[in-house]
Structure 1
Amino acid sequence: MFDADTGFDIYQHTQTDARAAQASPRELVLMLMDGLLDEIARAEGHIQAGRNREKGISIAKAIDILGGLDSALDMEQGGELAANLHQLYDYCGRQLFGASVHNDLSQLVPVVRVLQDLREGWDRLGQEAGA
């Protein structure tokens, strides 16, 4: 059931599940963005250390998270914004794939920049709504 190696990993997974169950849609997006950025950072470390198997696992997880974000888009109701997000997620996925295939850290840089900008926008959205 778990890929976890330690009790702490299982605890973290349980905590994440509990947070997700109580989160608003905006908070879920922020959680996914945080997880995505963390996984990309792990992939970067694996590329630098030459750990190809682990790099592949991290890139696959990151692409899966992008797929989850993309599948949550409502293309009918979301209009141009949803279409633009779809294109950004597609671009990020292609860049991640290229970084993995070529062990090219430079392909991760624009992905991290795009995702940080998107995350910041979602975070600001919540601050403005709460004000």
Structure 2
Amino acid sequence: MFSSQGYASAARRYAAIDTSSRVEGATPHQLVRILFEELLRAMDSATLALKGGDMAKATERQTRALTILHALESSLDFEKGGEIALSLATIYRESRRRMIRAIGEKDAAPMESARAFIADIASAWDQIA
């Protein structure tokens, strides 16, 4: 049997392998989809940790979410994307601001509202063929 620490470590290794296998050979569109999936998972985990009072876990998951948001924003092409890229950048920045506020105030509500923004974008991305 695994200890709770051993189980968590095994789960992280499995998740890393799963993500690696999905990324290998993925198209750029699929890579963005994977980023959105991972971002939503990190935000969900941070929210649960906040609600449970586990600030270390909440901060860890928030850091992952912020890193993914940064990657998404960095990949925007403002020349080709025009107004859409500008709108996405604004949403990503506001989402980051809310996530930071959630941790600072130890309140899950700003994290949940940031997640709603991202979920809408992820859903729209899934509609693109």
Mapped partners of 2:110, 2:95: distance in 1: 9
Mapped partners of 2:40, 2:73: distance in 1: 16
- AA aligned to 1:87 is T
TM-score (norm 1): 0.87
Count, aligned residues: 122
Name stretches of at least 5 consecutive residues in structure 2 with no aligned partner: 1-7
Is the aligned partner of 1:69 residue 2:72? yes
Deviation of 1:10 after TM superposition, in Å, equals 2.0
Instruction: Select which of 34, 58, 62 maps to 1:59.
Output: 62
Q: Which consecutive segments of 4 or more residues in structure 1 shift more than 6 A? A: none
Mapped partners of 1:56, 1:93: distance in 2: 13
Deviation of 1:28 after TM superposition, in Å, equals 1.0
Is the aligned partner of 1:81 residue 2:89? no
- Percent same amino acid at aligned positions? 27
Mapped partners of 1:110, 1:47: distance in 2: 14
Q: Which residue of 1 aligns with 2:121?
A: 118
Q: Secondary structure at the match of 2:128?
A: helix
Instruction: Select which of 9, 12, 24 maps to 1:5.
Output: 9
Name stretches of at least 5 consecutive residues in structure 1 with no aligned partner: 127-131
Is the aligned partner of 1:43 residue 2:42? no
